[in-house]
Structure 1
């Protein structure tokens, strides 16, 4: 590649990342309109426990966006998923009322009730612009209590209404509803590398290492078409325990036999979507 072309490509990449970061300020603003008063009270009464819930979220979202711009084919669609999940230990008889209240505060539509294997579930979802969707699933548990998922998904983060601030508001709303939430974030798209999955994931490791020092591979899986690796990163405060390891990030590359492309999936702290 000529020097001028390389410089142009780098400038375009920086512009794309800038656009991405700007778009992070807009996520879900419309979805929180109905809960503005409640949110003001929640934000003003932040506690130490809230700080631990959100530990690592800013760094992780920043890493996900910057590395994604480096390793995904420019101009192709990205799938970005931010998921909050946690258990509600209150009376399951109040689930419908509580699910309806949380859905309203999130700016979602009417809650749909259904019976799944004898246990009630409550769902609500709404579009957040043309490129994103916010959804909630509240399901009763066999042993009592409930488990709740709130998921934001976009197919184009450059045009999604998504921000770290709004993501934190989601977690605070769940805490105010008596749910103990944890977050995870994933990105998926077509890898710029057309080499083998092993070679492609090595290139992705290089991009991550350039952003975060101390990247250390802890676990690895490989078969004919897929390579998956998990890592510890000292600078990322959010992690999950896997045996004696503290996993902060997982990367997988899967070779698509139809067009010989590589699908890359990055998860913080682990991948929670199919790869």
Structure 2
């Protein structure tokens, strides 16, 4: 987002709500916990899809970013838990599966919430946030982040492992990924957006811009993309990819952000 004021906050809330409507194959179609054979098959399919998507994002990011620029990546797994175990027992079990250390707990707007985090060997940061919703339900977000994906070869496998851990904990989680870097194209954000869009057209025949957003420092398009299965429903559209270009006025530099299926970080 990068834009200031009320429109930024509204857009964040819209994106967060849309992410809850993701239409998924892979982990989303998981069977209830206990059917380990089905879970193993589903997890393998979901992990393959995730790693293919991360490889695609890396390729697109390398083409659209300034030469040699680091590719920041933020990947989020999120989903709801409503199993038989208590929230405290379930979150501790998930933290153990993720290899995280001590959990911190606090009251978050009337609901108990837990947090934990760690750094993997290659520099990837992994964090867990778990919040009770009431009625025996909880919401969980596992985030993996690296300042440069090209220097963090462990992230794709770690991301797949995190999805499997959530599935084993009874959470049919959904993932989204956002990649960010200084843009190859400078000048006005709209011109840079259209120049970058030409790269997408070459990569994805039939790609179609369905939604757009613009302000004085940001231009963004969200696309339907034939062949990409991971989508978000927005009105009558199934969106699979979002591109944003934001002008950092202090550095006089354009920054690109690519999201699959949508961007869920500040751009």
Q: Into which bin does the TM-score normalised by the smaller protein fall? A: 0.7 to 0.9
Shift in Å, 1:212 = 2.1
* Contact kept? 1:239, 1:248, Cα under 8 Å: yes
- Pairing 1:135–2:114 present: no
- Select 1:61's aligned residue among 36, 42, 54: 54
- Pairing 1:88–2:53 present: no
- What is the TM-score when the length of structure 2 is the normalising length? 0.80
Corresponding position of 2:31:
none
Change beyond 3 A, Cα 1:252–1:62: same
Corresponding position of 1:8:
none
Could you tell me how far apart the structure 1 residues matched to 2:49 and 2:224 are? 13
Name the count of aligned residue pairs: 234
Which runs of 5 or more residues in structure 2 are unaligned? 1-33
Change beyond 3 A, Cα 1:104–1:255: same
Shift in Å, 1:77 = 3.0
Corresponding position of 2:170:
178
Corresponding position of 1:30:
none
- Select 1:118's aligned residue among 110, 113, 121: 110
Corresponding position of 1:221:
213
Could you tell me how far apart the structure 2 residues matched to 1:260 and 1:168 are? 37
Shift in Å, 1:65 = 0.4
Change beyond 3 A, Cα 1:59–1:158: closer
Mapping of residues 33-44 of structure 1, within 5 Å? none
Could you tell me how far apart the structure 2 residues matched to 1:87 and 1:176 are? 13
- Select 1:246's aligned residue among 227, 238, 256: 238
Could you tell me how far apart the structure 2 residues matched to 1:100 and 1:71 are? 41
Corresponding position of 2:139:
147
- Select 1:202's aligned residue among 173, 194, 210: 194
Moved more, 103-112 or 125-134: 125-134
- What is the TM-score when the length of structure 1 is the normalising length? 0.78
Larger RCO, structures 1/2 (Cα 8 Å, 6+ apart) = 2
Could you tell me how far apart the structure 2 residues matched to 1:105 and 1:161 are? 21
Could you tell me how far apart the structure 1 residues matched to 2:172 and 2:36 are? 16
Shift in Å, 1:147 = 0.4
Moved more, 49-58 or 146-155: 49-58
Query: What does the per-residue CA deviation read over 1:86-141, in whole Å, with 9 as the maximum and x for residues that have no partner?
Result: 000135x7111111111111111111111111211111100113632011111101
Greater Rg by CA: 1
Structure 1 runs (4+) greater than 4 angstroms displaced: 41-45, 47-56
Corresponding position of 1:167:
159
Mapping of residues 9-28 of structure 1, within 5 Å? none
* Contact kept? 1:131, 1:156, Cα under 8 Å: no
Change beyond 3 A, Cα 1:214–1:56: farther
SS, match of residue 179 in structure 1: coil
Shift in Å, 1:44 = 6.1
Could you tell me how far apart the structure 2 residues matched to 1:273 and 1:147 are? 19
